[in-house]
Amino acid sequence: MDDFKSIFLKKQNEIEKILSFYSSKQLSHYNQTIIEAMNYSLMSGGKRIRPIFLLETYKLFSDHTIIVEPFMAAIEMIHTYSLIHDDLPAMDNDDLRRGLATCHIKFGENIAILAGDGLLNRAFEVMIEGTLEHSLGDRGLKAAKCLGNKSGTYGMLGGQATDIIYEGCAMDMDTLTFIHKHKTSALIEASFMMGGYLANQEVDVVEKLERLGACIGMAFQIQDDLLDVYGNVEELGKIPMSDKKNKKTTYIDIKGVAESRNSVNDLLDEAMVLLHEFDYDRTKYLEAFITFLRERRY
């Protein structure tokens, strides 16, 4: 595990450089504040799991990794925009994120809304630039379309909207599963699928990657529910018990702690089985990642 953690840290450092390279740059003093707000949140740490999944999935098939870098930056930009907006007073109204003041606390609500919008736009700009620069054609377009789909109304945004509509209401397992699958899992599914599309894989392979992402995404969200109750502010970098504060039904409310933990293990077991259908010599890092996820505390 120590070995895994040092490689994880190295990969995170590489991603910081990629994000910094693709981040929006200040063109005049007029756009200073919005660029500062966007980059404050983008460069504020975070586990960077989505770009890592994208890169490692691509590496199941190819080593020419330079072409995936704009897409790694783009998925983290979309993720960061969703966190900025999720923290707003109109949504979860949180003051702390990744151990720092949330974007609206630091820059004001109006600028934070625009910073989220700015990152969303920039994500598509860098994917299109990357597609043109590396002549990726269909590969780049399919990856960008996938990210648009999985982060939009049919994915993360749709899940977030349902989550808001059901706030404070009794909820059954089907509704909660819909919310988790869309709000959290969809973007993780995209990270695996985009790696497949960029490596020019056929539909059946991308579908397998989508299921792999779904297992990891659902396990990740159930763990998030558990950590919201049992985690601490130092490890999480955010204030726990946010679900209770926002009157949200969680997996634990419906299934209980023991069964929630069992679901995490079952989903990660399925992910491991799916992963073993790929080239054995290339799956080591993702295998270690699944093992790390089983025990994650943050």
| Footprint on this chain of ligand GRG (rule: CB under 6 A) | 46-47, 49, 79, 82-83, 85-86, 98, 156-157, 160, 183-184, 221, 224
In the complex, least distance from residue 133 CB atom to ligand GRG, rounded to whole angstroms: 27
Q: How far apart are CA 195 and CA 284, in angstroms?
A: 16
Residue whose beta carbon is closest to ligand GRG = 46
In the complex, least distance from residue 279 CB atom to ligand GRG, rounded to whole angstroms: 27
Q: How far apart are CA 282 and CA 61, in angstroms?
A: 8
Nearer to ligand GRG, 139 or 182 (CB): 182
In the complex, least distance from residue 27 CB atom to ligand GRG, rounded to whole angstroms: 27
Nearer to ligand GRG, 139 or 183 (CB): 183
In the complex, least distance from residue 213 CB atom to ligand GRG, rounded to whole angstroms: 13
In the complex, least distance from residue 155 CB atom to ligand GRG, rounded to whole angstroms: 9
**H-state helical runs in 23-60:** 32-42, 49-58
In the 3-class helix/strand/coil scheme, how is 175-239 assigned residue by residue? Answer: HHHHHHHHHHHHHHHHHHHHHHHHCCCCHHHHHHHHHHHHHHHHHHHHHHHHHHHHCCHHHHCCC
DSSP state of 68: G
Q: How far apart are CA 142 and CA 153, in angstroms?
A: 18
In the complex, least distance from residue 65 CB atom to ligand GRG, rounded to whole angstroms: 21
Cα end-to-end span (Å), the chain: 15
Question: For residue 295, how many other CB atoms are within 10 A of its CB?
Answer: 8
CB-CB contact of 89 with 112 (8 Å): no
Nearer to ligand GRG, 181 or 208 (CB): 181
Nearer to ligand GRG, 49 or 68 (CB): 49
Nearer to ligand GRG, 61 or 285 (CB): 285
Nearer to ligand GRG, 46 or 70 (CB): 46
